[in-house]
Amino acid sequence: MEWKLFANLAETAGRKDIALDLDDDATVEDALEALFERHPDLQAEVYENGELAEHIRLLVDGTDPFATADGYETRLDADAELALFPPVSGG
């Protein structure tokens, strides 16, 4: 599976695409933990009080697992594409 990071999150990680090799039964939480393990600075930007910050959007193959699946417990396909977005406001 692969993470795609946008805007300041990609800058913090120093890259936009991060491929992960996780077990078959990995969840969104596992993918987040693996991401933070590799890029510890991201955690402070993405998490607020131990949870995904309200303003950060996490998508699994284009859908929000917190709205449509099991949130952190959502199971991921081996080829899942995960995205982390902050809103941007420049105009």
Partner 1 sequence: MSLGLDQTQLDRYSRHIILDHVGPAGQAALLNSSVLVVGAGGLGSPIVQYLAAAGVGRLGIVDDDRVERSNLQRQVVHGESDIGRLKVESAAEFVAELNPDVTVETHDLRVAPDNAMELIDGYDVVVDATDNFRTRFLLNDACVLTETPLSHGAVYRFEGQVTTFEREEGSPCYRCLFPEAPPEGAVPDCATAGVLGVVPGLIGTIQATEVIKLLIEYGETLDGRLWNVDAAGMDVETVPLRRNPDCPVCGDDPAVTAIEDVKYADRCRAPSE
- Torsion, Cα 43 5 80 53, to 10 degrees, reads 40
CA angle 22/1/3 to nearest 5° reads 110
- Decide: 22 and 1 in contact? Cβ < 8 Å: yes
Least separation, in Å, of the C-beta of 90 and partner 1? 4
CA 1 from centre of chain: 11
Instruction: Please pick, from the candidates 21, 25, 79, 91, the single residue that binds partner 1 as defined by CB under 8 A.
Output: 91
Instruction: Please pick, from the candidates 38, 40, 63, 70, the single residue that binds partner 1 as defined by CB under 8 A.
Output: 63
Q: Which helix (H) or strand (E) holds 47?
A: strand 47-48
Binding mask 3-32 for partner 1 (x = CB under 8 A): -x-xxx-------x----------------
**Does 86 contact partner 1 by CB under 8 A?**
yes
Residue 24 or 67: the one with the smaller Cβ distance to partner 1 is: 67
Instruction: Please pick, from the candidates 2, 68, 69, 77, the single residue that binds partner 1 as defined by CB under 8 A.
Output: 68
